[in-house]
Every structure is written in structure tokens, then in C-alpha cells.
Structure 1
Amino acid sequence: MTATHHEVATAAGSGAGATARFKSDKLAGVANTPKERVSLLAREVLDAVHETIRKHKVTYDEYNALKSWLISVGEDGEWPLFLDVWVEHVVEEVATEHRQGNKGTIEGPYYVPNAPEQGSSGSVPTRENEPGTPLVWTGQVTSTDGTALPGAKVELWHADAEGYYSQFAPGIPEWNLRASFTTDEQGRFEIHTVKPAPYQIPTDGACGKLIAAAGWHAWRPAHLHVKVSAPGHELLTAQLYFPGDEHNDDDIASAVKPELVLDPKPADNGETVDYGFVLDPVR
């Protein structure tokens, strides 16, 4: 693999792609939100901003710096990145607090629907000599009562060894490291992929400026993204992590949960892991 696509990949480019994807996929669900709900949420957010200004005696210079930065976030197309890194984990926590099945976590900005179907056992599309330790992942999808769920869908996507996602960085094949799997009659699946690496979120745009100004780090631990669905059950969105990653405890996106850390075992050619999903019936 060459590094050509990495030489021209930018935060603005990835951000623009994430923004365009968001606009096409995510807005239908809020079309009929009551005005009273919009007013309530907007007012309380603004009240919290006002209270912060009063509490910390924010100056005009600081206000203008914020104003300039907010403009840059929009110009760089980084609103999906900003919100998914620093806000989404709380939205996810509230939205799924009733569940009895598997824990979930944030989706992040780089999901793409309709990835190639590989059946109940198959390999994620990769480039020739794709960097990364080979990983074989087996598991079963069940309902909360223990019933196996045949025909459940497991969507998997993750970054490459240098932290780039296909369709959001140039020079990577369209469906690289993205695939969908459908469980067999016992609700089981087997996925062949490569183990991802930790990476930094894009730092050459507005989010990077905030990170530098605040003295934060930009690292995310290595993770696999998944969406798991079955008829009559709630959609589960999660990320799966690996033990020993130095950023499991200080993930910039605050998305790691103990229940989502895998337990891989060494194999002849890489690693294997068994991890399944328990889905909640729709209420």
C-alpha cells in the first residue's frame, strides 16, 4: 500500500464528506419535532451558555475567539466530527438507558449504509497486503430471552492502519474495511478482517485548533464499529475495543465501556475473538 491518499487527506475533506453524508441520511427523523420541544431544548442550551459567560466573566476577546472558531467549524465541515466526539456519548447514554441487552456506544461520523453483503461467514473487503494483524471474529446474535436471531444483520466498518476511513479519505477503495453479514439459522456469524490501530481524529481543522488550545490529546483507541439489527428488535450501535490500548481510559470521544472491550486470543495467523450481541425487543 502506498501513502499517496494520506498525503492529500485533510480534516476539511473528511469533514465535508461527513457533513454531506449526514444531510442525506439523518435529518428525516426530526422533520415533525414540535415547536415547544425545539424551544425548550434551544432555550436550555442558551441558558447554559449564558451561565458559563457570567460565571467565568468571559471577555469580548474570548467571545470573538469563540465566534471565529465556530465559523471555522462550519467552513471545515467539522460539525459532525465535533458533535460526535464531544456530545454524542451522552445522547447515546440517555437514548439506550432502558436496554437490558448489549451496551452500545457512539456511531461516529463515518458510517455508510449498504456495505457489501458477505453472508454469515466471510471477509471484509481489503486492499492487497492490507496492513494489520488478521482477526477472525465469531459470535451469535440473540434476543434478551436467549432466543437465537437468524437473519440478523451485522454491519462492520473501521479505519485502516493509519486511521483513515474509506469514502472519507482519497485513494482508498470505496468499500475497504466495510461489510455487512447476515447470521445463520443459529444466529451465528464469522467475520475475517484485520485488527485496527489507535488513531488521532483530524487535527488540521477547527477541532484540532480546539484540542491544541485546550491542551488535550486527539487519540481514539483502536476500535471496530458495528450496527446490529433484527426484525422486531432495537438497533444496536456499538464500538468494540481491545485490551491494553493506552487510550481506553482517556478516549477523546469518551465512548469506551468495559462491556465493549474484547478478549482476543492468539491464533496461528493473527488473533481470534468470540463476542456476540443480545438485542432488546422493540417496546
Structure 2
Amino acid sequence: MSNDQLEARAADSGANATAAFRKTREGAALDVPPERVSAMATEAIEAIQEVARRHRLTYDEYRVLKDWLISVGEDGEWPLFLDVWLEHVIEDINTSHRTGDKGSIEGPYYVPNAPEMGSHAKIDMRDGEKGDTLRFQGQVRSTDGSPLGGAKVELWHADADGFYSQYAPGLPEWNLRGSFTVDDEGRFQIDTVLPAPYQIPTDGACGRLIAAAGWHAWRPAHLHLKVGAQGHEQLTAQLYFPGDPHNEDDIASAVKPELMLDPKDGDVDGTAGKVVDYDFVLDPLA
């Protein structure tokens, strides 16, 4: 992969993630009580101040920090920064009450309104798409065990080179993205390819932080899903594959044991591949 491709990936993905987030927030407003805003803002500022005191931050270090914070915005990487280092905590807080599946982070690369493909279908992909064939199938149920016919399963994931459509140049718009409406028994069957582990963009501000701290930038291979049904809480999940070297040190801290898949060797329309059975259990709305 050329340096030009890597540079395009970081620049494009940052700008696109920011634009996509802002589009979803158009016209949105939230009436948060001033005392709640004050409490959270004050504690966040005090926490940063305490770090500065504890480590006796120098003026040179302060100026580097200031320059870096500016560059995060200029590179369009605030969605990436927040989704990698904060979202897993927000997700844990907001799903702790669930008795069904708890899910995982959404990440910065979700795109709504992917093409509808029915309950049993092959996801959009290029002719000769690289990667081993994967059949992902299962059932969507409520916490009482009843099937949720008509539920919607949205699936998106990186390709075999670690790139997402609409966030890297040269990929078809809906490559490896699709919406699937389950059958009357809540069942679905989706044919796709195995995703690859990948590094989050490293030539922007987030990459400079990773390099300066001596961290790695790797995420393990995973599938992204959103699962929703009438009268139930929407589930957002990332599902992972056993044996990935970064399941234990995911840069986004999003891996959970219950999100680990169990692929089996199988036949997928006459092609040797992997077959995964995974059911989703949704909590009814309170």
C-alpha cells in the first residue's frame, strides 16, 4: 500500500467522519440542565488540572498539547479520538441495565440507509472481493425468547485491506454495507467476507499521539452491527474472531468475551469458507 493511499485514508476518513456526525446532528438539540453541564465540565477540567500538577507539566509540553488539540480539529479527527478512547465507557454506562445483549461501540464509520437486501442475501461487494467467504447467520429474539420477525439487521465492516467504504478512496459506495430484514421467525443469513485487523489512521493527530506515547494503533478484525425491532431497544455491536492478536489489547478497548464469534468450516454456496451462528437478544423498551 502506497504512502499516498495511507495519507488519503487519514485525511478522507477524518473529514468524512466529522461530516457524517454533523449530518446526523442537524437540527438536534438537547436541553441539559445547567447544573449537570457545570458538574461534568468542572470535574473534567479539574481532572486535567490535576494531571498537570501531578506530572509538573512544563510550558513547552503545554504548548505541544495546545498545538495537538488544534490539529485534532483541523484533521477532522475528533470523532475518531472520542470513539477510540471514550465511547466504550459511554456504551458500558448506557447498556448496564440490559438483560439481553449489551453490545459494543458504534465507532466513527457507520453510514445509515445502506441498501435493503431481505433476510437471506449476499452483501454488496466487488467482483473478486478479497478475503475468505463468511456466512453470518442467526436469529433475533426478545428477552422472553420470542422471535422478532421483521427486525432490521445492519451490517458493515472493513475489507481485507482494513478499509471502509465511504471513508477511503477507490471503494464502491456501499461496499460491505447492507441492511437485512429478518424473516417471520427472526432469522437472517448474510454472505460476506472475513474482515481484516487494521490500524486506525496514523498520519493525523491521533497517530501523532499514538507514536508519542509508544502505543500501537491496531484494532482486531470485527463485524459492526445495529439490530432493531419495534418495541425494543436498539442494539449496536462489534463481533470479534478468536485468535486475533489484538483481541487482548484493542486500541479502542471494545472487545468483550460475550462478543466473541465461533466460526466453523463450512460450505457457502459451493465455496469453502467460514460459517458463524450468532443470535441477538433485544431488551423491550421500558
TM-score of Structure 1 vs Structure 2, range by shorter chain: over 0.9
Q: 1:1-283 to 2 correspondence within 5 Å?
A: 6=5, 9-26=8-25, 30-268=29-267, 269-283=272-286
SS in 1 for 2:285: coil
Give the deviation of 1:24 after TM superposition.
0.9
Give the deviation of 1:29 after TM superposition.
5.4
Give the deviation of 1:203 after TM superposition.
0.2
AA of the residue aligned to 1:31: L
SS in 2 for 1:10: helix
Confirm or deny: 8 A CA contact 1:9 1:170 kept in the other structure. Answer: yes
AA of the residue aligned to 1:280: D
SS in 2 for 1:254: coil
Q: Please say which of residues 117-126 and 50-59 is displaced more in the overlay.
A: 50-59
TM-score relative to the length of structure 2: 0.95
SS in 1 for 2:54: helix
1:6-45 Cα distance to aligned partner (Å, 9 max, x none):
3662312210000000011146655322222222211111
Confirm or deny: 8 A CA contact 1:85 1:252 kept in the other structure. Answer: yes
Counterpart-to-counterpart distance in 2, 1:5 and 1:54: 41
1:26-69 Cα distance to aligned partner (Å, 9 max, x none):
46655322222222211111011111111111111111111010
Counterpart-to-counterpart distance in 2, 1:9 and 1:16: 11
Fraction of identical pairs, as percent: 67
1:196-222 Cα distance to aligned partner (Å, 9 max, x none):
010000000000000000000000000
Counterpart-to-counterpart distance in 2, 1:136 and 1:247: 23
Q: 1:5 to 1:137 in 2, by over 3 A?
A: farther
Counterpart-to-counterpart distance in 1, 2:275 and 2:33: 48
Q: Please say which of residues 34-43 and 153-162 is displaced more in the overlay.
A: 34-43
Confirm or deny: 8 A CA contact 1:153 1:230 kept in the other structure. Answer: yes
1:218-250 Cα distance to aligned partner (Å, 9 max, x none):
000000000000011001000000000000000
Q: 1:29 to 1:97 in 2, by over 3 A?
A: farther
Counterpart-to-counterpart distance in 2, 1:213 and 1:7: 19
Counterpart-to-counterpart distance in 2, 1:175 and 1:96: 29
TM-score relative to the length of structure 1: 0.96
Confirm or deny: 8 A CA contact 2:7 2:203 kept in the other structure. Answer: no
Counterpart-to-counterpart distance in 2, 1:108 and 1:249: 18
Confirm or deny: 8 A CA contact 1:264 1:271 kept in the other structure. Answer: yes
Confirm or deny: 8 A CA contact 1:4 1:171 kept in the other structure. Answer: no
SS in 2 for 1:168: coil
Extract structure 1 runs of 4+ deviating beyond 6 A: 2-5
Number of residue pairs matched?
Answer: 282
Q: 1:5 to 1:182 in 2, by over 3 A?
A: farther
Counterpart-to-counterpart distance in 2, 1:132 and 1:26: 35
SS in 2 for 1:45: helix
Counterpart-to-counterpart distance in 2, 1:151 and 1:72: 45
